[in-house]
Amino acid sequence: MSEFDFQEDSSEPLDIKGLVMKYLRYWYLFVIGVALALATAHLYLRYSTPVYSVKATILIKDESGADLASSAMFADMALMKSNKTFSNEVLVIKSKGLMERVLSELGLEVSYFGEGRIKSPELYGGRSPIEVVIADLDSAGFGRSFVIEVEDNNTFSIFEGEDKVSTHKFGEQIKKKYGAFTVVADSEVTSDKGRRVLVRFNDLRKLAAKYSSQLGVKNVNEYATVMELSLTDPVPAKGKDILNKLIEVYNRESVYEKNQAVTKTIEFIDDRLVYLTQELSDVEKEVVQYLQENKMIDVAASGGVYSSTAHEYNQQVTQNEIRLDILGSIEDYLKKDENRFELVPTSLDIADPTLNGLIANFNELQNQRQRLLRNNTETNPLVRNVDEQLETLRFNILENLQNIKNGLLIVRRNLQASAQQFESQVRKVPSMQRDLQVIGRQQGIKEGLYLYLLQKREEAALSQAITPSNSRVIDSATAEGSPVEPLATNIYLMALLAGLAIPFAGIFLRDMLNDTVQELRDVEKATTTPILGEIGHNGSGKMLVISEQSRSSSAELFRLLRANLQFAAGGKENKVILITSSMSGEGKTFFSLNLAASLVMTGKKVVVLGFDLRKPKLTQGVNLPNNIGITNYLISDTVLIESLIQFVPEMPELAIIGSGPIPPNPAELMLLPKIGTLLDELKANFDFIILDSSPVGQVADTLALAPYIDSSLYIVRYNYTHKKQLQIIDDLYKSRKLKHPMIVLNDAKKGNSYGYSYGYGYGYGNYYEEDSKGLGSRIRNLVK
């Protein structure tokens, strides 16, 4: 163990109290920071635009109408189908095209805002005294805004920026480079004279993209296809209108898509009915003409059993002809180029499952192609893939039609052959009757086909009239009563945290970037050199602060340090005390004079020597001349020591010897033996000799005094001495280049003295408080 050991164990725990006190010293910064942050939060909440949440709930229906989820056998399949259907509908609802149609139907091409000093609230739902009707607007007008000021009930003015552009009458069409529009006034616009309204033209595509991205769609329950739609908007009424209109347009689009195949079927039947009506009229005219030419009113058909049998075969032939005619019409429809991407008519009662299945797949692909073309071009790979599938299905349908026709032709030949067998039996019937029978058969075919198509058209029209929508509204759009943004509680909480965090971060960064000694622990970490004590900040501006009447904190600390110095001596001689430091400006001269004054007040004879031959400050500090001093003594044999001694005017008992004129070779002078002679003679006349030397961290002059001293005090100044310079004293202590080195901390303030303070309990020193450990726990093992 060293002779002087003031250090605490390096493994001592973190001083939480000290760390807290370190930041509490700047309590006023935290108070200011919190106050400014809360004030900023208050202003933000006052002038920010609140945003409200609007929600609606709808049920997505199963298109098949079958409750597959209730079947245990198909439970997994039903769940997969339901999830797929739900995911598809989510993409449809969030599509930009659908949202653009919603905004267009709501007339949101134009937005209106009330003019305010800080913020401009949107005027929606009839709150604006004017309305702008767009006649024509190109892309250059998107995002353009201007101010309309109501002059009276007939006129208004347009402002762009602060400049008045023009004055117009309500109802007058205004033409600009970017488009034409008309301003219509409210019926009570007279009461709004002088009111200013900000008008902005919106790009519906960008606005639709914005609302589509903000639209929230989620599944309420994983076992149900119930969809919750949510939207945030500063105007709750607008948000509710958008959601309600979105559901309406979505249902209308789904119904329209479902009715596409039925509409095509009705159009096909209408075309065929027009053609059949003409043919049926021609046949009826032919019958009338034949009867008139032959002067006949009625012909009794009597063919017996053969005639009846032939008639039955003829009916079958008629039915077969109807089927062939329908198949031929469908085949002609598919072969036309203009119908390549049109739906194939269905519900024509063709009893062939394969053909019906192919037509259903063909129509489903046509609908899918139409949906893809809403947001893509025909060159898109997905569209081209669907086109290829459609071409394949078209070929398969035509091939299937041909196969069915071939089968029907074979049946027709068989039926005709059978009919001819029986007709040969009735050839005795007059040719007239036979001709009428042929004509009547043609008429029957036409009438049957006409009635059949008329019935199918009515069925298709009825199906179109009762087509259900794709969803059902469970809860219409409603807005929450309080805004979701900004939340006052969260804003104030974040402001409070920011008000505390910013000063904390500032103090932390300042300390981290500051490489000077801030606290006692900085010294304790850097060196094991004993610490004698600390000196408070001198705010008086005087060099000498010690006097008999002085009761300042600095004076009391010097008295305490004097007592510590006596303890450190441990009964040994300690007459010559060296004062040094790392660099100039750390308070060596101030400490030397006041330590000497403190010793003088105990009745001791003390002399202070200015051994800083390069930058002498000792005599200047007490307003004494420096024309003669140590330099004169060292270079001359005639100068006596008595002629060097001067006495401080403020304390006549305190003697000082200045450095004298600055020599050209101070390092060589410090090595002269006369320094020992000087100190020996002074020892005989003084109790203490204090050497105010040069900084040992800058020049080596001080080390020349090492053989003559009894102890050395190393001055470290708070907020001035660099932490790296503490290695100097640590090296001096470990290498024993100076005798009994001890550290004195100078310029202690309330901000950095908590770790090593000395209190007195007598009201002295307003920067210090009594340490709970006491002085005895601060200075340990003063004597080996």
For the chain, residues with pLDDT lower than 70 are: 1-15, 18, 62-85, 116, 187-192, 290-307, 310, 346-351, 420-436, 463-470, 549-552, 750-784
**Token pair for 381:** 């790979």
State whether residue 63 is helix, strand or coil: coil
248-255 contacts at long range (C-beta below 8 A, 24 or more positions apart): 249/98, 249/101, 249/102, 249/105, 250/92, 250/93, 250/98, 250/470, 250/471, 251/469, 251/470, 251/471, 252/469, 253/98, 254/469, 254/470, 254/471, 255/467, 255/468, 255/469, 255/470
Q: Give the whole-angstrom CA distance, residue 507 versus residue 354.
A: 83
Measured at the CA of 687, the angle between CA 681 and CA 692, to 5 degrees, comes to: 75
Q: How many CA atoms lie within 13 A of 469 on its CB side?
A: 13
Alpha-carbon distances of 756 from 22, 89, 642, rounded to whole Å:
13, 73, 41
Please give the pLDDT value at position 81: 47
Q: Give the whole-angstrom CA distance, residue 28 versus residue 684.
A: 56
Cis peptide leading into residue 486 (ω within 30°): yes
Enumerate the β-bridge partners of residue 287. none
Q: Is 610 exposed, middle or buried (0-12, 13-18, 19+ CB in 10 A)?
A: buried
User: Can you give the residue ranges of every domain in the chain?
Assistant: 16-48+486-513, 110-201, 255-473, 520-767
Please give the pLDDT value at position 214: 87
- The single residue listed with the structure tokens 């060159």 is 379
Q: Give the whole-angstrom CA distance, residue 592 versus residue 577.
A: 9
Q: Summarize pLDDT for 213-266 with one digit per residue, the tens.
A: 888 888 887 777 888 889 888 888 888 899 898 888 888 887 777 777 777 787
Please give the pLDDT value at position 541: 75
Q: Is 257 exposed, middle or buried (0-12, 13-18, 19+ CB in 10 A)?
A: middle
- Do the beta carbons of residue 535 and residue 557 sit within 8 Å? yes
- The single residue listed with the structure tokens 């267009």 is 104
* C-alpha closest to that of 128 among 189, 194, 51, 207: 189
Q: At what angle do helices 236-293 and 353-375 cross, to 10 degrees?
A: 140
Q: Give the whole-angstrom CA distance, residue 136 versus residue 431.
A: 75
- Do the beta carbons of residue 745 and residue 582 sit within 8 Å? no
* C-alpha closest to that of 110 among 97, 122, 99: 122
State whether residue 644 is helix, strand or coil: coil
State whether residue 646 is helix, strand or coil: strand
State whether residue 524 is helix, strand or coil: helix
Please give the pLDDT value at position 190: 53
Q: What are phi and psi of 155, to 5 degrees?
A: -125, 160
Query: Within 424-535, where are the H helices?
Result: 431-465, 488-513, 520-526
Q: Give the whole-angstrom CA distance, residue 287 versus residue 310.
A: 21
Alpha-carbon distances of 509 from 16, 20, 26, rounded to whole Å:
19, 16, 14
Fold topology of 520-767: Rossmann fold (3.40.50)
Q: What residue type is 664 in one-letter code?
A: P
Q: What residue type is 223 in one-letter code?
A: Y
Q: What are phi and psi of 15, to 5 degrees?
A: -85, 90
Query: Within 514-552, where are the H helices?
Result: 520-526
Q: Give the whole-angstrom CA distance, residue 518 versus residue 504.
A: 17
Residues 6 or more apart whose Cβ sits within 8 Å of residue 714 = 529, 580, 581, 696, 729, 732, 741, 742, 743, 744
Please give the pLDDT value at position 60: 81
Residues 6 or more apart whose Cβ sits within 8 Å of residue 97 = 208, 374, 375
Enumerate the β-bridge partners of residue 773. none
The distance between the two most distant Cα atoms of the chain, rounded to a whole number of Å, is: 182
Residues 6 or more apart whose Cβ sits within 8 Å of residue 253 = 98
Query: Within 297-380, where are the H helices?
Result: 304-335, 353-375
- The single residue listed with the structure tokens 């600009």 is 176
**Token pair for 481:** 């009563």
Q: Is 62 exposed, middle or buried (0-12, 13-18, 19+ CB in 10 A)?
A: middle
**Token pair for 257:** 């898509």
Please give the pLDDT value at position 515: 84
Please give the pLDDT value at position 431: 63
* C-alpha closest to that of 423 among 442, 443, 437: 437
Check residue 428 and report its DSSP letter: T
Dihedral over alpha carbons 717, 719, 721, 724 (to 10 degrees): 140
Q: Give the whole-angstrom CA distance, residue 416 versus residue 414.
A: 5
Q: Is 453 exposed, middle or buried (0-12, 13-18, 19+ CB in 10 A)?
A: buried
| DSSP collapsed to 3 states, 188-200 | CHHHHCCCEEEEE
Strands 606-611 and 688-693: parallel
User: Which segments of 5-124 are extended strands (E)?
Assistant: 52-60, 110-114
Q: Give the whole-angstrom CA distance, residue 232 versus residue 54.
A: 6
Enumerate the β-bridge partners of residue 167. 157
* H or E element that contains 130: strand 130-137
- Do the beta carbons of residue 663 and residue 636 sit within 8 Å? no
Please give the pLDDT value at position 432: 62
Q: Give the whole-angstrom CA distance, residue 272 versus residue 275.
A: 5
